Amino acid sequence: MNGPVRPRLASLSDFQFGVVATETIEDALLHLAQQNEQAVQEAAGRMGSFRETRIVEFVFLLSEQWCLEKSASYQAVEILERFMVKQAENICRQSIIQLRDNEKTESHHWRVLKEQISNKFILRLVSCVQLASKLSFHYKIISNVTVLNFLQSLGYLYTKEELLESELDVLKSLNFQINLPTPLAYVEMLLEVLGYNGCLVPATQLHATCLTLLDLVYLLHEPIYESLLRTSIENSTPSQLQGEKFISVKEDFMLLGVGIIAASAFIQNHECWSQVTGHLQSITGIALASIAEFSYAILTHSVGANTPGQQQPVPPHLAARALRAATSSST
């Protein structure tokens, strides 16, 4: 079927590794590590609650329709996640402060606030995608006309003023801090370092598989992390406290990055898996057992059997697991 010609998306072959000076890579990796450490320390509450499969799928499909690159789609998910968590926290705070003395009125007020968020959710989601497109400086920005036409096709009639107000609401809620690191940044930085360290699997070859698996982790976020939690505590029924402690693991993008690369290496060339995971361990300091557990969780949700967790035993002296340390306490 004939239709308008879309702009060419950036090809995977356009992505190059090994062209950046080592000093620059070291500084960038250190900066990402510091950002990740701060994010893990601050992880709490309902973080991760809005990386739900249908929401992520909507963002991915919309980003593809608007010809955005992969980094923009991931960033849109992260902006939306943080914005919605802020909104939920604000509703709870307002309900407690304003209507503490009248339970019946409080219940009604709570429903009204929930309906307001629900009714504007699609608008907020689209605003987050548009903001992410504006951060992607080397690709096109999604215009207000494009956004309004899309919303109209779904039956939502908004004006340009309302669209601008929605973007501003998102920006203000996040204190204009929307240039958030995404797991893709960690994956690509680690691949760059692996290339310099003499990894047997070419970085460009791993990169394509990493993108596919990263999409999978976003789309199956809850089941993958649930299986990871059960494995890390060696218990099929985690307690509420263990689940709350595990939030920091869900926000650990460095851990996610090494898990994605390890799983990709196993798919590309399982004979090199041990070498790749060894490099990742030396680069990040993450225990081999944790890398194995994460890659196992990813692979069992994608390709199923014959995964590294079954084929590659972890040396006993590395059995102290970072994941288990984060979740084992139940008191």
Residue 65 sits at the vertex; the CA angle it makes with 60 and 66, to the nearest 5 degrees, is: 100
Residues 6+ apart with CB under 8 A from 290: 255, 321, 322, 323
CB-count burial class (<10 Å; 0-12, 13-18, 19+) for 129:
buried
Both 54 and 170 in one domain: the answer is: yes
Question: Is 29 a member of any domain?
Answer: no
Both 54 and 151 in one domain: the answer is: yes
Both 227 and 118 in one domain: the answer is: no
Q: Which residue has the higher pLDDT, 272 or 165?
A: 165
CA distance 259 to 190: 11
Question: Is 329 a member of any domain?
Answer: no
Domain with 67 in it: 49-174
Both 259 and 292 in one domain: the answer is: yes
- Tell me the CATH number at 62: 1.10.472.10
Question: Is 252 a member of any domain?
Answer: yes
Q: What pLDDT band is residue 85 in, cutting at 50, 70 and 90? A: confident
Q: Is the pLDDT of residue 106 over 80?
A: no
CB atoms within 10 A of CB 36: 21
Q: What percent of the chain is modeled with pLDDT above 70? A: 77
Model confidence pLDDT, tens digit, residues 112-148 = 767 777 889 999 999 999 999 998 765 578 899 999 9
CA distance 57 to 60: 5
Identify the domain boundary among 174, 198, 226.
Answer: 174
Q: Is the pLDDT of residue 18 over 70?
A: no
Both 105 and 163 in one domain: the answer is: yes
Question: Is 277 a member of any domain?
Answer: yes
Both 263 and 202 in one domain: the answer is: yes
pLDDT at 39: 87
pLDDT at 324: 38
pLDDT at 119: 85
Q: Is the pLDDT of residue 199 over 90?
A: no
Ranges 43-47, 55-59, 159-163: which has the least confidence: 43-47
Mean pLDDT of 179-184: 90
pLDDT at 149: 95
Both 139 and 194 in one domain: the answer is: no
Question: Is 65 a member of any domain?
Answer: yes
Both 92 and 205 in one domain: the answer is: no
Both 170 and 191 in one domain: the answer is: no
Both 258 and 212 in one domain: the answer is: yes
Q: What pLDDT band is residue 87 in, cutting at 50, 70 and 90? A: confident
Q: Is the pLDDT of residue 321 over 50?
A: no
Both 154 and 188 in one domain: the answer is: no
Q: pTM to 2 decimals?
A: 0.81
Question: Is 230 a member of any domain?
Answer: yes
Dihedral of CA atoms 320, 323, 326, 331 in degrees, nearest 10, equals: -80
Indicate the number of domains in the chain.
2
Residue 46, CA distances (Å) to 99, 145, 197, 248 in order:
22, 34, 38, 11
Mean pLDDT of 74-102: 79
Question: Is 215 a member of any domain?
Answer: yes
Identify the domain boundary among 174, 195, 225.
Answer: 174
Both 140 and 242 in one domain: the answer is: no
